């Protein structure tokens, strides 16, 4: 996923209406009530900025749920993970939002065709992953821009991750961490068996990836775009979206670029 700095609209200012939304944890709900009491309560559709309270999973849910509203997001960490979130504190919140740096996310678009012939379209801000559904290893043929690159990848699965998602599932599968402005994607196999020496690839963000499931009756595979799962797929196409974007705001001292850089030196 390509990320670029972008300015907020010219009529945006920190005193405009904020919409606070929160995960269902007790901590997040308590913070939600306090922030709404202090700054007011506005529906996301009527607000100028959406403030998710929770972890990275809740931020992803919010990006998907409110995507059509074309609002900016300023998340605050009240969950187990907060890579996409700012620190939670209400003191000086409006000033923090005014000074926050915008980052433009371009999600992946997944088109999955199932065994029944149904076609499902979904967006992924982190990654699109294919996983075996049974004890049988998946057999997957890989195409890039219509050219076959791997005739048969034998594995538990394979994923394509954005730079923002490269520190999530991709990292746990031993994939590379990608700088946010690199305009590349990570393609990472999950427990690969064959080819023996293939451990993944770094791809340009404008490439089209097609994954064809071989012997799908005997070796069924599911495809997941973030949390949207499609079972029994026979073919999945993945490419960076040219129609959808998400604008996230980060405190200057917690820039996402710095977090990704620091993550590469974490022990």
Contact criterion met (CB below 8 Å) for 113 and 235: yes
Instruction: Please indicate if the annotation marks 74 as binding a ligand.
Output: no
Instruction: Please indicate if the annotation marks 169 as binding a ligand.
Output: yes
Instruction: Please indicate if the annotation marks 225 as binding a ligand.
Output: no
How many whole angstroms separate alpha carbon 139 and alpha carbon 141?
7
56 catalytic? Reply is: yes
Neighbours of 83 (CB within 10 A): 17
Residues 6+ apart with CB under 8 A from 91: none
Taking alpha carbons only, the member of 63, 119, 121 closest to residue 239 is 121
Instruction: Please indicate if the annotation marks 217 as binding a ligand.
Output: no
Instruction: Please indicate if the annotation marks 248 as binding a ligand.
Output: no
Here the tokens at position 32 are 């939600």
Task: Quote the DSSP letter at residue 7.
Answer: P
Which one of 56, 95, 206, 258 is the catalytic residue? 56
What radius of gyration, in Å, describes the C-alpha atoms of the chain?
Answer: 20
Instruction: Please indicate if the annotation marks 46 as binding a ligand.
Output: no
Instruction: Please indicate if the annotation marks 37 as binding a ligand.
Output: no
Instruction: Please indicate if the annotation marks 116 as binding a ligand.
Output: no
Instruction: Please indicate if the annotation marks 164 as binding a ligand.
Output: yes
**β-pair type (127-132, 157-161):** antiparallel
Residues at the annotated binding site for NAD(+)?
A: 56-57, 126-127, 156, 164, 167-172, 228
Catalytic residue numbers, as ranges: 56
Residues at the annotated binding site?
A: 56-57, 126-127, 156, 164, 167-172, 228
């Amino acid at each position: 996923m390509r990320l670029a700095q972008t300015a907020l609209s010219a009529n945006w200012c920190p005193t405009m209406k904020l919409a606070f939304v929160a995960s269902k944890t007790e901590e997040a709900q308590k913070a939600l009530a306090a922030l709404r009491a202090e700054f007011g309560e506005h529906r996301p559709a009527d607000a100028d900025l959406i403030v998710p309270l929770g972890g990275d999973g809740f931020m992803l849910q919010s990006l998907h749920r409110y995507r059509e509203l074309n609002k900016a997001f300023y998340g605050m960490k009240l969950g187990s993970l907060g890579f996409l979130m700012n620190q939670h504190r209400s003191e000086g919140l409006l000033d923090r939002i005014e000074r926050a740096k915008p980052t433009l996310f371009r999600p992946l678009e997944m088109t999955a065709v199932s065994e029944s012939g149904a076609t499902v379209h979904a967006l992924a801000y982190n990654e699109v992953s294919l996983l075996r559904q049974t004890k049988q290893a998946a057999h997957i043929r890989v195409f890039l821009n219509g050219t076959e690159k791997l005739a048969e990848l034998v594995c538990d699965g394979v994923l394509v991750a954005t730079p923002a998602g490269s520190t999530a599932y991709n990292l746990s599968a031993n994939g590379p961490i990608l700088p946010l402005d690199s305009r590349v994607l990570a393609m990472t196999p999950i427990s690969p068996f064959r080819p023996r020496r293939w451990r993944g690839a770094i791809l340009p963000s404008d490439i089209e990836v097609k994954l064809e499931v071989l012997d799908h009756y005997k070796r069924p595979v599911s495809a997941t775009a973030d949390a949207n799962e499609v079972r029994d797929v026979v073919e999945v196409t993945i490419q960076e979206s040219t129609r959808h974007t998400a604008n996230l705001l980060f405190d200057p001292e917690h820039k996402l670029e710095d977090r990704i850089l620091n993550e590469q030196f974490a022990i």
